[in-house]
Amino acid sequence: MTTLLELTDLHFAWPKQTELLNIANFKLNCGQKIFLRGPSGSGKTTLLGLLSGVQKPNKGSIKLLGHELTLLSATARDKFRVEHIGYVFQQFNLLPFLSVRENVLLPCRFSKTRAQKAINRFSSLEKAADTLLNNLGLDPALYKRRADQLSIGQQQRVAAARALIGEPELIIADEPTSALDTDTREVFLKLLFAECEKAGSSLLFVSHDQTLAPLFDKNLSLPEINIARGLT
Ligand SMILES: Nc1ncnc2c1ncn2[C@@H]1O[C@H](COP(=O)(O)OP(=O)(O)OP(=O)(O)O)[C@@H](O)[C@H]1O
């Protein structure tokens, strides 16, 4: 199996705080779907920020696609992130004044590679956005609607389509289902898995809801792999 992402001897503390993360090793293979759980405040979002290059660790290595992120400048990390990572934020972070379709197409404005991949697969950018939205279960009547006029479940589908467009190698999802009921969560997850498989993207999914864990290839507990705040 090819390694997509590997963290080694990672240390991180927020300024003026005690160490939050000390992780000896964490690995994600190409095509793998990993579930990472941990209670509120255990550092899940912080870890995602580190491995997507938003923050830099105090010490240690973060390798994505063979590139050492800690050696890149903040600007280079931003560029690398938009090319290779699709991120579904906890609060979705859709731009409220843009339409559903425009929101999905945002990564293609910042990454030529993703725009080209979307065109190669679907023949046009618009078709790429619409097909992804449709596959994720969003009613086509909504594609021209402003993003702030959607329900939470609908926003989640738009956020997932935006992460998937242009086939980034890694999809990171930060508790994107927490606002939904259990049945809706499972249906959404299965649609997300199917789209990740079609795009060849690996998935790192973070949640505090352990009931979702059996659906994944591998599941990990942050407190168990984090020596700084781990289980004693
Ligand atoms: N920007 C920041 N500056 C300083 N401290 C922060 C910052 N972001 C998070 N923290 C602190 O880091 C710790 C871990 O927060 P984090 O958001 O990573 O946890 P989490 O496991 O994702 O929680 P939740 O499940 O509630 O989203 C918390 O104590 C939090 O207060």
Two structure tokens written together for 177: 């289902």
Question: Which range of residues forms the domain containing residue 131?
Answer: 31-59+85-221
Kind plus residue range of the DSSP H or E element containing 23: strand 21-29
Residue 123 maps to a domain: yes
Contact 6, 63 (CB under 8 A): yes
- Mean pLDDT in the chain? 93
Among protein residues, the one whose CA lies closest to atom 12 of ligand 1:
43
Q: Which amino acid belongs to residue 110?
A: F
Residue 14 maps to a domain: no
Triad 174, 177, 180: Cα angle to 5°: 155
Q: pLDDT tens digits, residue range 123-169? A: 999 999 999 999 999 999 999 999 999 998 899 999 999 999 999 99
Residue 9 maps to a domain: no
User: 81: CA distance to ligand 1 center in Å?
Assistant: 21
Rounded distance, CA 6 to CA 26, Å?
6
Q: pLDDT tens digits, residue range 31-85? A: 999 999 998 899 999 999 999 999 999 999 999 999 999 999 999 999 999 999 9
Residue 166 or residue 210, greater confidence: 166
Contact 213, 37 (CB under 8 A): yes
Here the ipTM equals: 0.98
Q: Domain tally for the chain?
A: 1
Rounded distance, CA 150 to CA 96, Å?
10
Q: What is the CATH number of the domain that holds 156?
A: 3.40.50.300
Nearest to 132 by CA among 166, 161, 92: 161
User: 129: CA distance to ligand 1 center in Å?
Assistant: 32
Residue 75 maps to a domain: no
Triad 228, 55, 14: Cα angle to 5°: 45
Residue 69 maps to a domain: no
Among protein residues, the one whose CA lies closest to atom 28 of ligand 1:
41
User: 23: CA distance to ligand 1 center in Å?
Assistant: 16
Place 228 in a pLDDT band, splitting at 50, 70 and 90. Answer: confident
Place 183 in a pLDDT band, splitting at 50, 70 and 90. Answer: confident
Rounded distance, CA 103 to CA 121, Å?
19
Residue 10 maps to a domain: no
Residue 158 maps to a domain: yes
Place 185 in a pLDDT band, splitting at 50, 70 and 90. Answer: confident
Nearest atom (ligand 1) to Cα of 90: 27
What pLDDT score was predicted for residue 180?
72
What pLDDT score was predicted for residue 232?
47
Two structure tokens written together for 208: 């505090």
Judged against a pLDDT cut of 70, whether residue 178 lies above it is answered with: no
Burial label for 172, CB within 10 Å (0-12, 13-18, 19+), is buried
Mean pLDDT, rounded, for 104-115: 97
The pTM score is: 0.93
What pLDDT score was predicted for residue 154?
92
Residue 49 maps to a domain: yes
CB atoms within 10 A of CB 137: 15
Chain centre to alpha carbon of residue 221: 17
Judged against a pLDDT cut of 80, whether residue 231 lies above it is answered with: no
Among protein residues, the one whose CA lies closest to atom 16 of ligand 1:
43
Judged against a pLDDT cut of 70, whether residue 230 lies above it is answered with: no
